[in-house]
Amino acid sequence: MKITPIIGLEVHVELKTKSKMFCGCKAEHFHVDPNTQTCPVCLGLPGALPVPNRTACEWCIKLGIALGCTPNLTSFFERKNYFYPDLAKGYQLTQFEKPFVVNGKLVIDGQEIRINRAHMEEDTGKSVHITNNGQDLTLIDYNRSGVPLVEIVSEPDITSAEMAKKYLLKIQQIIRYLGISDADIEKGSMRCEPTINLKIEDNGQEFFTPLAEIKNVASLTGVQTAIDFELNRQLEEFKQTGEGKSKTNKTTRGWDADKNQTFLQREKEGSSDYRYFPEPDIPHIAFTAAQIDTIKSTIPELPDEKIIRYQKDFGLNDYDANLITQDINFAASFEKAIGQKPSIEMAKFIANLFIGSLKTYLNESQEELDIYKINPEYFKNLFDSVSKSEISSTVAKQVIIESYTTGIDPVEIAKSKGLIQVSDSGEIEKFAKEVITNNPKAVEDYKKNSMSIGFLIGQLMKASKGSANPKMAKEILEKIL
């Protein structure tokens, strides 16, 4: 029996524009007092009309292009009709027939995942269920109503939960590179709804299990666990019932993060009838090819391109290039630090400082890297000193953090702390003689076994407070002994 998971993802991303999609209310709504950012438009009051947010439309196109999509030069909004208390107008403005961008793709681990479309829509309000004096109540917060939302719809090309997670991470990374959303799954500014079924091949026969759409997945690990759970569940169910996919047996399942399982939310009788039709309150939106080019020109170099360039121009390995480009600010800071046309040696050296030192520091202190604190001159000085063996690479990793936090030249820090390597043979000889005098037993040991010189070198380094060039220390000790 051969089993192939078929997974498609619908990803919703809240854009961090200043104002909402169709009115002037503030879009940022996380931890804001309920119903304090509303107006007749996003409350769906009589007579209120939507006016589209130009920036949001442009960002949707920008994201689409970054995902390899083709823009539709003319596009329009449509009304998706359904009743729900948090849907103020009784319809959601979205795009159905003519989304802003179509037909993109992302490559994950060498496998192409096609993107059907990215379209612009508005978020709904939020229903909050509470119990007050023993009474179950549903309260509605309309702060989120009308927040710009881009929906990215993939084709069912994803074949494992891990790939789904990587696909999400990639989208998240691109969105953050574009600076159009926090894309934070935990905060709800990025949401993901996987649709899943299995292709089962057995004895030359092919079966497809019924489709299930999973809702309320609120974390990245949740996405992976939920998909894995559902894949197993479908397989077990198929083994028991043998039921295959039909036009009417698609179900919606919720994800219970506490119990780590999906549960049946509703069985669908075919697809719901949303009665889409063109939104008459908003004229068609047209972009010229020149306007699309302008939008395109605001897209920064994306991570995949950066990784290739770092490998080619700076000789970084794939792993390091990936680490540095994970976050655009980190990558930009790295590029600032290495300056124009750095040597491969220097670029690699600085990459090591970024990965081995700065990143650890930032992780521990939970800080964001501040690009303004990056001084390329300092990095160059440090590189030169290490090249000349004035500073050891261990010291370099220490002082770069202090330099970053204080703004002082790392070489100066090393000097003031006496961390400059002594490469003056006379100096080292003085330490060597001192060590030999003070450690007669170790000297005896050395004479029996030349491999035990390590201890004496250690003592010499200690005596020099770590400033002696260890290579020279060894040579001089050997010479004297």
Partner 1 sequence: MDYSTFSIPQIRQLLLDKKATAVEITKFFIEKIKLIDPKIKAFITITEKEALEKAAEIDKKITNNETIGKLAGSIMAVKDIFLTKDIETTASSQLLKGYIPQYSSTVCQKLLDQDAIIIGKTNTDPFAFGGSTENSGFFTTKNPWNLDMIPGGSSGGSAAAVSANLCHFALGTDTGGSIRQPASLCGVSGLKPTYGLNSRFGITAMASSFDCPGVFARSVDDIATVTQITAGHDKKDATSTHQTIPDYSSLLDSVNLKGLKIGLPKEYFTDAINPEVKAKVLEAAKVLESQGTILKEVSLPSTNLGLAVYYILVPSEISANMSRYEGIRFGQTVPDSSNIISYYMNIRGQFMEPEVKRRIIIGTYALSSGYYDAYYTKAAKVRTLIKQEFEKVLADVDVILAPVSPTTAWKIGEKCSNPLEMYLADAYTVCINVAGVPSLALPCGFNSNNLPIGFQLIGNFFEESKIMSIGHQYQQITDYHLQISKI
Please check whether residue 15 is in contact with residue 181, taking contact to mean a CB–CB distance below 8 angstroms: yes
Instruction: Tell me how far apart the alpha carbons of residues 110 and 310 are, in angstroms, rounded to a whole number.
Output: 19
Residue 90 binding partner 1, by CB under 8 A: yes
Residue 110 binding partner 1, by CB under 8 A: no
Residue 280 binding partner 1, by CB under 8 A: yes
Closer CB to partner 1, residue 36 or residue 393?
36
Residue 81 binding partner 1, by CB under 8 A: yes
Residue 40 binding partner 1, by CB under 8 A: yes
Contacts to partner 1 from residues 44-73, by CB under 8 A: 44-52
Instruction: Tell me how far apart the alpha carbons of residues 124 and 391 are, in angstroms, rounded to a whole number.
Output: 59
State the DSSP H helix or E strand holding residue 310, giving kind and residue range, or none if neither.
helix 303-314
Closest by Cα among 43, 28, 184, 183 to 125: 43
Residue 389 binding partner 1, by CB under 8 A: no
Residue from 6, 25, 65, 88 in contact with partner 1 (CB under 8 A): 88
In the bound complex, what is the minimum distance in angstroms from residue 144's beta carbon to partner 1? 15
* Pair type for strands 148-154 and 2-14: antiparallel
Closer CB to partner 1, residue 81 or residue 252?
81
Residue for token digits 């109503």?
145
Residue 18 binding partner 1, by CB under 8 A: no
Contacts to partner 1 from residues 125-144, by CB under 8 A: 138, 140
Closest by Cα among 466, 378, 480, 375 to 436: 480
In the bound complex, what is the minimum distance in angstroms from residue 95's beta carbon to partner 1? 15
Residue from 18, 239, 275, 471 in contact with partner 1 (CB under 8 A): 275
- Judged on CB neighbours under 10 Å (0-12, 13-18, 19+), 344 is exposed
In the bound complex, what is the minimum distance in angstroms from residue 182's beta carbon to partner 1? 28
Residue 96 binding partner 1, by CB under 8 A: no
- 3-state SS assignment for residue 27: coil
Please check whether residue 324 is in contact with residue 334, taking contact to mean a CB–CB distance below 8 angstroms: yes
Residue from 83, 263, 319, 372 in contact with partner 1 (CB under 8 A): 83
- Which residue stretches of 388-452 are H helix? 393-406, 410-416, 425-438, 440-448
Closer CB to partner 1, residue 145 or residue 421?
145
Contact set with partner 1 (CB under 8 A): 40, 43-52, 79, 81, 83, 85, 88-91, 138, 140, 273, 275-277, 280-283
